[in-house]
Chain A
């Protein structure tokens, strides 16, 4: 059974870089799925950040594209998020999620538990 687990610092200083990793267990990151980051500010809705395929191909939310880098490490079966120049508005629970395909339908079928990142000095 595939599981996703986010990890990284829970506190980041303003203007710094937020760095998170999502470990994939029970399955291979090189399967035919895309791997995404989604965030949720406290008390607010979900926002898609971006995604990566095991080949290294990426897609990003245009509103965050200038500050986001998503990378994959197949040897460690994990993928990572870097968000630069953070402000308090980037405070959120960050989820990693699997974008899968079934019968030509594509959707998020698996989510990590999420990790809260607070931007504060």
Chain B
């Protein structure tokens, strides 16, 4: 069981908008710690997608956006493309366990 809870899977058609939730608690996200998002394409290492809740690194399309409220965070992807099909992980800090990841969400582009 991961400290941060994500839906196992989400799906959407090309061009649509999808969101991935990341639910934590008062010892991690709710304590004010940042949430970061990573994209893992099949057979590759994770890649930073969003840092500090809502910031995009250089090179990440603005179709990707992040937000955080209370004990949860969300990743939104608009204008869905086939190349977005991947696993997505949220990550934060927990006051009892240090760095923690969500269980991951598999995005399927229909």
Enumerate chain A interface residues (CB-CB to B < 8 A). 36, 45-48, 51, 59-63, 95, 99, 102-103, 105-109, 111-114
Partner of B2, one of A45, A103, A111: A45
Are B47 and A105 neighbours in the complex by a CB distance under 8 Å? no
| Least Cβ–Cβ distance between A58 and chain B, in angstroms | 11
Q: How far is the CA of A62 from the CA of B45 in the complex (A)?
A: 24
Are B52 and A107 neighbours in the complex by a CB distance under 8 Å? yes
Kindly supply a per-residue 1/0 record for chain B positions 86-110, scoring 1 wherever the CB is within 8 Å of any chain A CB and 0 otherwise: 0001010000111111111000000
- Contact A108 B38, CB 8 Å, known A48-B99, A114-B45: yes
Q: Does B64 contact A (CB under 8 A)?
A: no
22 residue pairs bridging A and B, Cβ less than 8 Å apart: A45-B2, A45-B102, A45-B103, A45-B104, A46-B46, A46-B91, A48-B98, A51-B99, A59-B98, A61-B97, A62-B97, A102-B51, A105-B52, A106-B34, A107-B34, A107-B48, A107-B51, A108-B36, A108-B38, A109-B48, A109-B57, A111-B47
